[in-house]
Amino acid sequence: MNNLILVRHGQSKWNLQNRFTGWVDVELTKNGELEAKKAGNLIKNLNIEIDLFYSSIQLRAKNTLKLIQKALGNDKSSKNSWQLNERHYGALTGLNKDEMKAKLGEEKVHQFRRSWDLRPDPLDKKNPYHPKNIKIYDNVPRENIPDTESLKDTYERVIRFYKSEIENNIVEKNILISAHGNSIRALCKLLFKLDNNQITKLEIPTGNPLVLTFNNKREICECKYLDKDRAKDLLIF
């Protein structure tokens, strides 16, 4: 049996400020760094060798992975992919979530955050937060850079990458992915066979490793968060 470990990055500066972040490339807070280090130590206690490492190309995920690998004493190279990026929140990007609840209503903001196929209005391409104006995306094909995304859009790019790069290694390798709340939710939708309504209820905590153990038929036989005090309902098992 082998394991797929999913880790949402540690707390970011915009998590702390309660802002819609999406494709904006913000760093970890000091607390986020501590969460990443703790995640690494929890994974280390499993006493398994991680064979493959993946992350998005965003700093908060990449640096979470670096801190985890440091705790593991494992310096294998990782593959960083934009397809594992957070969902793009369109015109909501950079805005405070509580302020938007006051302006639009809590139900509408919840729909934007958790619905399956609802996209916020597109972000103006002249906005400095648009990914076309952020240097780390210079090598991403222009046609693949979104102005806004629904969770369904995020799911489609994440799952294409998973099926082409990761799925075939599940039976033989231990794999760790450092990514984001919505890119991990997308993976969980596929792996847990969640429907479009169930996925709206799935919460992914920062810096808490989620370990999925697979049998030789690529079936999940165990699933657990390593930090039980900060675990969320996985809607299965």
Active centre residues (catalytic): 9, 86
Give the gyration radius of the chain's Cα atoms: 17
User: Where would I find the H helices in the chain?
Assistant: 13-16, 30-44, 59-72, 97-104, 106-114, 151-161, 181-191
Residue 131: CB atoms within 10 Å: 26
What is the Cα–Cα distance from 19 to 55, expressed in whole angstroms? 22
What is the Cα–Cα distance from 26 to 29, expressed in whole angstroms? 9
Give the pairing type, strands 210-214 and 220-225.
Answer: antiparallel
Tokens of 166: 């990761």
Residue 36: name the closest of 59, 52, 2, 20 by CA. 59
